[in-house]
């Protein structure tokens, strides 16, 4: 993943103690620890475990190209949104499956959202977030928890860690109460949107799910993704 080369030695601000690349690698290690220890109680399938290691590497892939400093604050504006698109391109280049691409794109787009669930200005309250994650809710909680543990800068306090753990377990409860979620029918979606099998239809499935979570009907979301795909 040459996209990560720029992350080396890139500072992140007082909530992080590692540069961007080391933070990404520590997140991957945190995913591995959580899958072994189960501190938040997520239930992840074997396929989901593999996908989590992929998304652990990709969740901050856009930080190197979105970094800015404003009045002394380090910001990575929209690195989640741009990162989802970059994750799609990486997955396509690597020849990854539709489901792994769907998981990687979805979690990259949503990886900040659990941390903002208690914020009244958040655009993703728990139920909407659970619907946006769909069948990947367990994996999203693991990634969010590992991402938080990988950021232990001087401004981060132990109560912040415990609060985030509570948010992750709360999200898991909401997600499970709304489930079970149907597995995406990638073959059917490929025919409806005229996108290629594999990573491209995985990206399309993620886009459809996020649009439905924002209020579109599934047919409207599919038509929108098909129009965008045809004009790309």
- Read off φ and ψ for residue 67, nearest 5 degrees: -65, 135
Local mean pLDDT, 10-residue blocks, the chain (232 residues): 83 70 93 95 92 95 84 77 95 96 97 86 85 97 94 73 93 96 94 95 97 94 89 57
Residue 127 pLDDT: 93
Q: How many other CB atoms are there within 10 angstroms of residue 74's CB atom? A: 16
pLDDT at 231: 57
Per-residue model confidence (pLDDT) at position 13: 66
Q: Residue 68 pairs with which residues in a beta bridge? A: 75
How far apart, in whole angstroms, are the C-alpha atoms of residue 40 and residue 25?
20
Look at residues 163, 156, 231, 160 and name the one whose alpha carbon lies nearest to residue 193. 231
Q: Which pair of tokens denotes residue 41?
A: 């109680």
Q: Report the pLDDT value the prediction gives residue 161, as an integer from 0 to 100.
A: 87
Q: What local confidence, expressed as pLDDT, does residue 8 receive?
A: 85
Q: Cα torsion for 147, 124, 127, 221, to the nearest 10°?
A: -110
End-to-end Cα distance, the chain: 24
State the Cα–Cα distance between residues 151 and 170, nearest whole angstrom. 21
37 backbone dihedrals φ, ψ, rounded to 5°: -90, -30
pLDDT of the residue at 105: 97
3-state helix, strand, coil in the chain (%, to 5): 65, 5, 30
Q: Which position has the token pair 């945190």? A: 30
Question: The tokens of 61 are what?
Answer: 């892939």
- Is-contact 170 118, C-beta < 8 A? no
CATH of 2-184, one of 1.10.3470, 2.40.160, 1.10.287, 1.10.3210: 1.10.3210
Alpha carbons within 13 A on the beta-carbon side of 205:
32
Give the count of beta carbons closer than 10 Å to the beta carbon of residue 81. 12
* CA pair distance 159, 164, nearest whole angstrom: 8
For the chain, give every domain's residue range: 2-184
Look up residue 148 and give its two tokens: 């938080």
> Which residue, 4, 5, 10, 15, is CA-closest to 150?
15
């Amino acid at each position: 993943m040459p996209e990560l080369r720029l992350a080396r030695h890139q500072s992140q601000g007082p909530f992080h103690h590692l540069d961007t690349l080391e933070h990404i690698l520590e997140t991957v290690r945190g995913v591995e620890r959580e899958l072994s220890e189960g501190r938040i109680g997520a239930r992840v399938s074997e396929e989901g475990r593999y996908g989590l290691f992929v998304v652990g590497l990709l969740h901050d892939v856009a930080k190197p190209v979105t970094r800015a400093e404003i009045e002394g604050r380090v910001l990575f504006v929209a690195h989640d949104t741009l990162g989802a698109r970059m994750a799609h391109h990486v997955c396509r280049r690597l020849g990854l499956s539709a489901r792994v691409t769907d998981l990687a794109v979805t979690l990259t787009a949503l990886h900040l959202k659990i941390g903002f669930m208690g914020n009244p200005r958040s655009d993703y309250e728990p139920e909407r977030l659970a619907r946006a994650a769909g069948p990947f809710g367990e994996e999203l909680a693991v990634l969010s928890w590992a991402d938080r543990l990988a950021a232990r800068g001087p401004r981060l306090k132990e109560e912040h860690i415990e609060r985030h753990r509570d948010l992750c377990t709360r999200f898991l409860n909401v997600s499970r109460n709304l489930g079970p979620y149907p597995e995406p029918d990638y073959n059917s979606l490929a025919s409806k949107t005229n996108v290629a099998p594999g990573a491209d239809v995985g990206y399309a499935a993620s886009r459809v799910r996020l649009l439905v979570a924002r209020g579109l009907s599934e047919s409207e979301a599919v038509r929108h993704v098909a129009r965008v795909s045809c004009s790309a």
